[in-house]
Amino acid sequence: MNRTRRLRRNPFIRDMVRETKLSLDDFIYPLFIVEGEDIKREISSMRGVYHFSIDKVLDEIKEIMDLGIKSIILFGIPNDKDSIGSEAYSSQGIIQRAIGEIKKKFPEIYIVTDVCMCEYTSHGHCGIVLDNGDVDNDKTLPYLGKIALSHAEAGADMVAPSDMMDGRVGYIRKILDENGFEMIPIMAYSAKYASAFYGPFREAAASAPQWGDRRSYQMDPANSNEAIREVMYDIEEGADIVMVKPALSYLDIIRRVKDNFRMPIAAYNVSGEYSMIKNAIENGIVGEEIIMEVLTSIKRAGADIIISYFAKDVAKSFK
């Protein structure tokens, strides 16, 4: 008789045959940076996640490095917004200054930057908006190029365009190469869906669109073949890592991308996924072990890299 239970009898044998193991090497921890000093303010829709001023984020980075986390992704919330998001590419912008301060103190932390306009534009859209309200693809590309270049110049290790404009990976690759940053990789938010799971992030990043939604550039949650095309185009344009976002309702997409391309895949375990689980744990509805189960499912689906607000919880569970 086939007895699969033989290999489940005790923890030793279960550990030995476990197919998917999380490691801190898999994780990128997101950080939100605001203007000002001495600010560490909890984001009300994301318990345990904070807005940090640059001075305070240095303490946080010390803590996460002590926990064994090696990589962060930065999101900036500027004081001043305008229609073209000029603070996003200013050499004195919030992210550019933050990178400088972080690298001065912790040269070994790996810094990924989010390249987009929505946190910096007065209208909250991810690109240049025309008079008729459309987000113009090709007019947006030069701005994305400027943002990515300014991050590389400030000392970022990797840039991650999240805007979902067509052709942006190729455009950014060209700008980086022309300016001597041919070794800076691009992690493309390739299959980014127009998802309700981003709700808490929009409070965190103060980036909700002032009108309309993002369905003219982010993907329809119903589509899977289209995700394969998006990923294919980004790889053709020079993406080094491709991303699926969100993660949990899109595990099938992660698996299809893995099977089709054998590329390094990142999955973004987004704010709504985090807050739902966090709230359920805090209310005693589910146990804390759900965190590892969920993150393991993302890796099992095929993700090599997991961007998650749970990275610190994972690190603590390894201690």
β-pair type (158-161, 110-115)? parallel
Please select the residue that binds Zn ion; options are 84, 94, 99, 126, rule is CB under 5 A: 126
Closest-CA residue to 226 (of 257, 196, 247, 195): 257
Give the 3-state secondary structure of residue 58.
helix
**Residue placing its CB nearer to Zn ion in the complex, 61 or 219:** 219
- Kindly report the backbone phi and psi dihedral angles of residue 36, in degrees, each rounded to the nearest multiple of 5, phi listed first: 110, -175
Burial class from Cβ neighbours inside 10 Å (0-12, 13-18, 19+) for residue 261 reads middle
**Residue placing its CB nearer to Zn ion in the complex, 116 or 270:** 116
Tell whether residue 271 is among the known ligand binding residues: yes
Q: For tokens 């306009």, what's the residue?
A: 117
Tell whether residue 8 is among the known ligand binding residues: no
Catalytic residue chosen out of the listed positions 146, 192, 258, 312: 192
Q: Count CA atoms closer than 13 A to 211's CA, side-chain side.
A: 5
Q: H or E element: which one contains 141? A: helix 137-154
Alpha carbon distance 36, 44 (integer Å): 19
Tell whether residue 126 is among the known ligand binding residues: yes
Give me the least distance between CB of 273 and Zn ion, in Å please.
Answer: 18
Q: What is the DSSP letter of 148?
A: H
Tell whether residue 297 is among the known ligand binding residues: no
**Residue placing its CB nearer to Zn ion in the complex, 126 or 204:** 126
Task: Please work out the total of residues on this chain that contact Zn ion, with binding judged by CB under 5 A.
Answer: 3
- From 48-56, 83-91, 126-134, 142-150, give the range in contact with Zn ion by CB under 5 A: 126-134
Closest-CA residue to 254 (of 298, 222, 294, 295): 298
**Residue 192 bears catalytic tag:** yes
Tell whether residue 173 is among the known ligand binding residues: no
- Stretch 64-123 residues interacting with Zn ion (CB under 5 A): 116, 118
Burial 124-151, CB ≥16 within 10 A → b, else e:
bbbbbbeeeeebebeebbebbbbbbbbb
Give me the least distance between CB of 180 and Zn ion, in Å please.
Answer: 27
Burial class from Cβ neighbours inside 10 Å (0-12, 13-18, 19+) for residue 209 reads middle
**Residue placing its CB nearer to Zn ion in the complex, 61 or 126:** 126
Give me the least distance between CB of 125 and Zn ion, in Å please.
Answer: 8
Cβ atoms of 258 and 305 within 8 Å: the answer is no
Give me the least distance between CB of 5 and Zn ion, in Å please.
Answer: 49
Give me the least distance between CB of 78 and Zn ion, in Å please.
Answer: 14
**Residue placing its CB nearer to Zn ion in the complex, 243 or 294:** 243
- From 56-64, 71-79, 124-132, 260-268, give the range in contact with Zn ion by CB under 5 A: 124-132
Q: Count CA atoms closer than 13 A to 62's CA, side-chain side.
A: 9
**Residue placing its CB nearer to Zn ion in the complex, 126 or 144:** 126
Tell whether residue 256 is among the known ligand binding residues: no
Catalytic residue chosen out of the listed positions 56, 146, 245, 258: 245
**Residue 103 bears catalytic tag:** no
Binding residues: 116, 118, 126, 202, 214, 230, 271, 309
Residues belonging to the active site: 192, 245
Binding residues for 5-aminolevulinate: 202, 214, 271, 309
Binding residues for Zn(2+): 116, 118, 126
**Residues engaged in binding Zn ion (CB under 5 A):** 116, 118, 126
